[in-house]
Amino acid sequence: MASLGEAVTVERSAGSISISRVRIRSIDVLRGMIMILMALDHTRDYFGIPGANPTDLSTTTAPLFFTRWITHFCAPTFFLLTGTGAWLARRRMSTPQLSRFLFTRGLWLIFLELVVTRDLGWQFNFDYRVTPLIVLWALGWAMIVLSALVYLPASVVTALGIVMIATHNLLDAVELTNPLWKILHAPGVIVATPRFTLFVGYVLIPWVGVTAAGYGLGQIYQWSAERRRAFLLRLSLAAIALFIVLRAINVYGDPSPWSKQSSAAFTLISFLNTSKYPPSLLFLLMTLGPALLLLWAIDSATPAALRPALIFGNVPMFYYLLHIPLIHLLAIAVCLARNGHVYWMFQSPGLQFFPITPPPGWGYSLPIVYFVWAVVVIALYPLCRWFAEVRRRRSEWWLSYF
């Protein structure tokens, strides 16, 4: 989150106290890295081969699978750091102020999902026959829930988050057609009316749990640097080890067990092919463990190669709101140059082809996808750098919502 990644430094001198805001660079760098990876996944959505399922072992390839797999780290890390940022923000806000901010911010994200990114990003139309409820929707509700949880002790919030993450797969066997259940745990289609359909991609129970756990994680940033790094290292290695052990046992933690395949490479792919919808316990251990390990690795210093990510991490919402329409516009430009008309790019697609209705013969190889991704990230860098400087120099309240 753009404004919840700040800590407070308190300096005492001559009996007086001065308070200044500082950003925690490691959090911003990690957030920036996942924003960059997020653009890869969305570039593949628009430029990749339509209908190619990277996680279907019967049709996928190793490069396609790992292109998708590396982007799995984005959502869990972003939800976790949202909770961490909320804890850091409470050091400069009262509990009622923080609760009010989280609540209004959550409503803002839901509005962005339902109106702005849907109409001006993913679709470029106002046809609501198919409306996806995806990442900003779930993040908004996670913040709304957290706005109530902040009145509880941090230890209780942390415990609730861990319990939700660890036990929600016990609900996998529950089969209900109730729309509320689809929103809470079982992603799928909700037919609101014969004309309007909602597609729930991001369910709430596990994602709220990740955000609550991230809130508890924020407490380590009031520890000494040595203690914090030791904790991050132990926690990350424990999460990775637990993933390997539980996945090897193949009994609990993911609805899709792995199996031996025709080659060692595809056996590894089967082992790593955990469920994101909803995010299983093993999916979250697989992604959050390495994310925490990276947070440990960059805690003391930012490598020069990662410094550009710091810019994106300073303004993640600004970046998010720009990168989807930019990718969509590039797809339209390529379609126009190739086909001479672009009406496909403005139609509401069926669920099998979200986010666009592909023209005949549409779709490009992975090297092209990676090239377009690089173009998108490089094009957004100066804009994000400019906006980061605006936010650094100015303090208007509305800037905290971007």
Between 398 and 306, residue with greater pLDDT: 306
Between 376 and 401, residue with greater pLDDT: 376
Backbone angles phi and psi of 364, in degrees to 5: -130, 160
Buried b (16+ CB within 10 A) or exposed e, 300-330: eeeeeebebbbbbbbbbbbbbbbbbebbbeb
pLDDT value at residue 12: 33
pLDDT value at residue 9: 35
Mean residue pLDDT across the chain: 90
pLDDT in tens, 139-195: 999 999 999 999 999 999 999 999 999 999 999 989 888 899 999 999 988 987 777
**Confidence at 354, pLDDT banded by 50, 70, 90:** confident
In this predicted structure, the answer to whether residue 16 has a pLDDT above a threshold of 50 is no
pLDDT value at residue 277: 94
Between 397 and 332, residue with greater pLDDT: 332
CA distance 168 to 366: 35
Number of H helices, E strands in the chain: 14, 5
In this predicted structure, the answer to whether residue 367 has a pLDDT above a threshold of 70 is yes
Between 15 and 265, residue with greater pLDDT: 265
pLDDT value at residue 192: 78
In this predicted structure, the answer to whether residue 105 has a pLDDT above a threshold of 60 is yes
Which residues face 197 on adjacent strands?
Answer: 130, 191
**Confidence at 10, pLDDT banded by 50, 70, 90:** very low
Give the pLDDT mean for 123-148: 91
CA distance 12 to 119: 51
CB 134, CB 117: distance < 8 Å: no
CB 372, CB 47: distance < 8 Å: yes
Q: Which long-range contacts (CB under 8 A, 24 or more apart) does 244-252 make?
A: 246/281, 246/282, 246/285, 247/271, 247/274, 247/282, 247/286, 252/169, 252/281
Q: How far is CA 28 from the centre of its chain?
A: 14
pLDDT in tens, 54-84: 999 999 999 999 999 999 999 999 999 999 9
Residue 214: Cβ-neighbour burial (10 angstroms; 0-12, 13-18, 19+): buried
**Confidence at 120, pLDDT banded by 50, 70, 90:** confident
pLDDT value at residue 219: 95
**Confidence at 401, pLDDT banded by 50, 70, 90:** confident
Share of the chain above pLDDT 90, in %: 72
CA distance 195 to 197: 7
In this predicted structure, the answer to whether residue 3 has a pLDDT above a threshold of 70 is no
pLDDT value at residue 395: 81
In this predicted structure, the answer to whether residue 351 has a pLDDT above a threshold of 90 is no
Which residues, including other chains, have CB under 8 Å from residue 46's CB and lie 6 or more apart?
A: 327, 328, 330, 331, 355, 356
**Confidence at 27, pLDDT banded by 50, 70, 90:** very high
**Confidence at 316, pLDDT banded by 50, 70, 90:** very high
pLDDT in tens, 187-207: 988 987 777 888 999 999 999
pLDDT value at residue 185: 95
CA distance 231 to 134: 32
pLDDT value at residue 170: 96
pLDDT in tens, 208-218: 999 999 999 99
pLDDT in tens, 281-300: 999 999 999 999 999 999 98
pLDDT value at residue 392: 87
CA distance 161 to 95: 19
In this predicted structure, the answer to whether residue 6 has a pLDDT above a threshold of 70 is no
Give the pLDDT mean for 118-131: 82
Backbone angles phi and psi of 394, in degrees to 5: -120, 160
Q: How far is CA 112 from the centre of its chain?
A: 15
End-to-end CA distance of the chain: 8
Cβ atoms within 10 Å, residue 157:
23
Give the pLDDT mean for 122-128: 82
pLDDT value at residue 7: 40
pLDDT value at residue 91: 81
350 in the Ramachandran plot: left (φ > 0), alpha (ψ -120 to 50) or beta?
A: beta
pLDDT value at residue 133: 92
CB 85, CB 28: distance < 8 Å: no
The closest of 30, 23, 35, 18 to 380, measured between CA atoms, is 35
